[in-house]
Amino acid sequence: MGGRGEPGPAYRDGRGFWGNALARAVVDGEPGQRTSVGDREGPLSLVNRRGDVQCGGQASVSVGTKRIREASRTRSSGRQEPGKRKGLRTLIGSPSNFKECYEPTWGRHKARTRRALGNHDHQTPHAAGYFEYFGAQAGDPGRGYYSYDLGAWHVVVIDSNCSEVGGCGADPPQERWLRGDLAAHPARCTLAYWHHPLFSSGVEETHARHPEMRIIWQDRYDAGVELVLNGHEHNYERFAPQDPRGRADPDGIREIVVGTGGKAFHPLPKPFPNSEVRRADAFGVLKLTLRPDGYDWEFVPVAGGTFIDSGSGVCHWASAVH
C-alpha cells in the first residue's frame, strides 16, 4: 500500500475545462458508457471531481462541493488563462443555475452522477435547486444523505452542512441514520464522501479543518471504512490512514481532499501529521478503481499538467487475511 506524487504545472484541457465538480462512477468502461453495476465483482472506476468548473462558452459551473459561477466569456473559443478570467460572480445553486450552467456541461453525465451537497448548494433554501435537478438520485430531499452499493463496495454520502441536518454530533438524525446504515450494510469494503474535510494542511483554520465531523468519522472508523473523499479546500492532499484524532493507524481511514476544479488555490504551507502528498497548483480529477479487495487511486491532471499522484490500498478485511 502506498503512492507517489510528482510536481508540475496544470493547464486547461482541450475542451476548455478548468476542472470538475461531481462524483460519478464508470463501471468497466469509458466515460459515456452506461453499465449496470448489479453484484458485479470486477474492478470498477469512480471519478471524484470536486471544485469549481470553468467551461467553454459563458458558464462556469461548480456543483457538488464549491461554487457555481458565471463567466462573461466569448462563445467562440471559451479560452482564458488562470488569473485572466473576467466577469465571474458567485451563484447560489438555484434551479436556473443548474439549468443554465450545469446542464449544458456536466448534464450529459447526470444519469450516473452521485452528488454530495456543498455549502453553496444550501445558499438556496433547503438546497431546492440541487434536489429539483437531481431528483431521486440525490437521496431524500428531506435529509440530503444516502448510500448505495457499487459492485463489492458500499458507498455512503453525507451532508456535512451540519446546521442543515440537525447537527453532526452524537445522535442527531444523520448520525443515527449513519450508524444504522453501516450496520445494515456490512460490506467488505466501504467508501464515504462529503464536502468539508476533518483533516487538512490548509492555512485558514476554520475553512480547512472541520472538527464537527469527528463523530461522523468515528462512526466510520468503528465500522472499518477504508476511504473518505472531501472537497471544500481548493487544493489536493492525501493522508495516510489515521484514526479520528489524526494519529497514524494502519487500520484507520485514508482521507483524500480533492478541491482541484478551477477555483483559486488555497496554500498548503506546513504539512499536518500524516499528510503524504500535497499540491496547491494543479487542476484535475481523482480516479479510483475499486476492486473487491482494495482500491487504486490516480490524480489525473488537465491536459498539459504534469502533477500526478497514484497508489493503492487494501480493504481492512483483506489486510487482516494477509
For strands 308-314 and 294-301, give the pairing.
antiparallel
Give the separation between CA 291 and CA 173, rounded to whole angstroms: 32
pLDDT tens per residue across span 212-246: 999 999 999 999 999 999 998 889 999 999 999 99
The answer to whether the CB of 175 falls within 8 A of the CB of 138 is no
Burial of 143 (0-12, 13-18, 19+ CB in 10 A): middle
pLDDT at 265 (0 to 100): 85
Q: Give the structural domain span for 66.
A: 2-321
Mapping DSSP to helix (H, G, I), strand (E, B) and coil, where does residue 190 land?
Answer: strand
pLDDT at 321 (0 to 100): 61
pLDDT tens per residue across span 31-89: 333 222 233 344 655 665 445 443 333 222 222 323 322 222 222 223 333 333 333 33
Give the separation between CA 178 and CA 274, rounded to whole angstroms: 26
Assess whether pLDDT exceeds 60 at residue 11.
no
Give the separation between CA 261 and CA 45, rounded to whole angstroms: 19
Domain count, the chain: 1
The model's pTM: 0.77
pLDDT tens per residue across span 90-125: 457 889 888 888 888 778 889 888 989 988 888 899
pLDDT at 97 (0 to 100): 86
**What percentage of the chain has pLDDT greater than the value 90?**
43
pLDDT at 48 (0 to 100): 56
pLDDT at 37 (0 to 100): 29
Strand partners for 228? 192, 255
| Neighbour order of strands in the sheet with 146-150 | 146-150, 153-157, 189-193, 227-230, 254-258, 236-239, 275-279
CATH number of domain containing 120: 3.30.750.180
